[in-house]
């Protein structure tokens, strides 16, 4: 699930609870899969075309992947 608004060109990744973006912005819990003129962040099921991912969301997403990898590695190490 993704979040975007027309106030900014980039889009955000949404936390599991869908209340906030990974970078901490509040999301309106509405899925709108068409271009709308709204400054409120709303949900979309597809990443918007021709826009980039918010740098903060990308950073948080990347660090959570690294944490997951580290956890899996320590699990494997413990099992070996």
Instruction: Please name the helix (run of DSSP H) or strand (run of DSSP E) that holds residue 61, with its range, or none.
Output: helix 55-79
- Which region, judged by CB under 5 A, interacts with Zn ion, from 14-22, 32-40, 41-49, 61-69? 14-22
What residues are paired with 20 via a beta bridge?
A: 26
x-or-dash pattern for Zn ion, window 16-55, by CB under 5 A? -----x-x------------------------------x-
Helix (H, G, I), strand (E, B) or coil at 11: strand
- Which region, judged by CB under 5 A, interacts with Zn ion, from 6-14, 30-38, 40-48, 64-72? 6-14
Which tokens sit at 67?
Answer: 């944490």
């Amino acid at each position: 699930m993704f979040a975007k608004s027309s106030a900014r060109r980039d889009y955000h990744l949404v936390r599991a609870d869908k209340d906030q973006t990974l970078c901490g912005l509040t999301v309106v819990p509405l899925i709108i899969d068409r271009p709308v003129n709204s400054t409120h962040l709303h949900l979309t099921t597809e990443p918007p075309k021709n826009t980039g991912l918010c740098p903060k969301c990308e950073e948080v997403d990347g660090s959570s992947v690294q944490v997951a990898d580290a956890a899996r590695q320590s699990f494997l190490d413990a099992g070996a």
